[in-house]
Amino acid sequence: MKAVFIDRDGTIGGGNDVTLPKDFQRFPFTQQALELLKNHGFMLIAFTNQPDISRGKCRMEDFEQELATFGFDDTCICPHQQEENCRCRKPGTLMITEMAKKYKLNLSECFVIGDRWSDMLAGMRAGTKTVLVLTGAGRDALGVDRDKWDSGRVSYIADDLLAACKWIIRTRVENDMKRYSKASLIGIIISLLAVLISVVNIIYCAINGEPMNSAITILCSTIAILCSNIAIAESNKKKPKELARSKNI
């Protein structure tokens, strides 16, 4: 299973500062972006620092209900203030690693999208790919906050959430294509070896005057398998509908 961890404030809506659920407004493109990821099989996990919960200004349930309404499959919320030095507050990795355990995620195949340096650093430390968006505090992450993290390690920088999601989908499809091509090549090599062994067997039978019916049958079968693998490889060279669709979303 592949998941995308998405920050809240400044990434899916709001601004540089925390906005309580009753006042929070999503960006116009947010719903399209989230649906795009879900339609391509990604699990959506919101992960956000919300220190106002520990200050008594709002409830954890308010954020959970809001994010579920937006279409997230699960939520990770750190309610603590910075001075509490908890392990879950970003750039800590606990929220990510707990979700990885819960859903058996391979974090190297997961993504973090956020507008702050702390989002990026959390993703890098956890081993995910990272996408910085330039909405919210995104430009500050590359400016006044640039010394707090290694911006050179970010996987991609996108103008907004929608652009980030499109890049993630393209990346996934292209990686899948590479895997398919590699598997096809291995199949062709194995089939060629089988054909070679069959030919050697026929030559051996001919030299020693032994019946060649079974050897010829095996040769024909291996040639058929080879042709099948070549056809699969040729098919994989062509852009499938999914790849073409991902290029034009």
Q: What is the 3-state secondary structure (H, E, C) of 40-108?
A: CCCEEEEEEECCCCCCCCCCHHHHHHHHHHHCCCEEEEECCCHHHCCCCCCCCCHHHHHHHHHHCCCHH
* Residue of 9, 115, 119, 160 with catalytic role: 9
H helices of 104-160, in order, are 117-126, 138-142
Cβ contacts of 214 within 8 Å, gap of 6 or more: none
Same domain, 152 and 184: no
Same domain, 22 and 137: yes
Residue 171 domain flag: no
Same domain, 124 and 194: no
* Residue of 7, 115, 119, 160 with catalytic role: 7
Same domain, 26 and 119: yes
Same domain, 127 and 24: yes
Closest residue by Cα to residue 27 from 106, 118, 134, 119: 134
**Domain final residue, candidates 128, 159, 190:** 159
Residue 138 domain flag: yes
Computed over every residue of the chain, the mean pLDDT equals: 86
Same domain, 22 and 134: yes
Q: How many domains does the chain have?
A: 2
Cα Rg, the chain, nearest whole Å: 26
Residue 211 domain flag: yes
For 184-212, the pLDDT digits (tens) are 666 667 766 666 776 777 777 778 777 76
Gap between the Cα atoms of 64 and 104, Å rounded? 22
Confidence (pLDDT) at 230: 65
Confidence (pLDDT) at 244: 45
Residue 168 domain flag: no
Confidence (pLDDT) at 19: 87
Neighbours of 26 (CB within 10 A): 16
Using 50 as the pLDDT threshold, list the residues of the chain that sit under it: 240-241, 244, 246-247
Residue 73 domain flag: yes
The structure tokens listed for 64 are 């959970």
17 is catalytic: no
The structure tokens listed for 53 are 């919960």
For 44-87, the pLDDT digits (tens) are 999 999 999 999 999 999 999 999 999 999 999 999 999 999 99
Structural domain of 236: 178-247
52 is catalytic: no
Gap between the Cα atoms of 160 and 132, Å rounded? 8
Same domain, 12 and 130: yes
Gap between the Cα atoms of 122 and 99, Å rounded? 13
Residue 165 domain flag: no
Residue 191 domain flag: yes
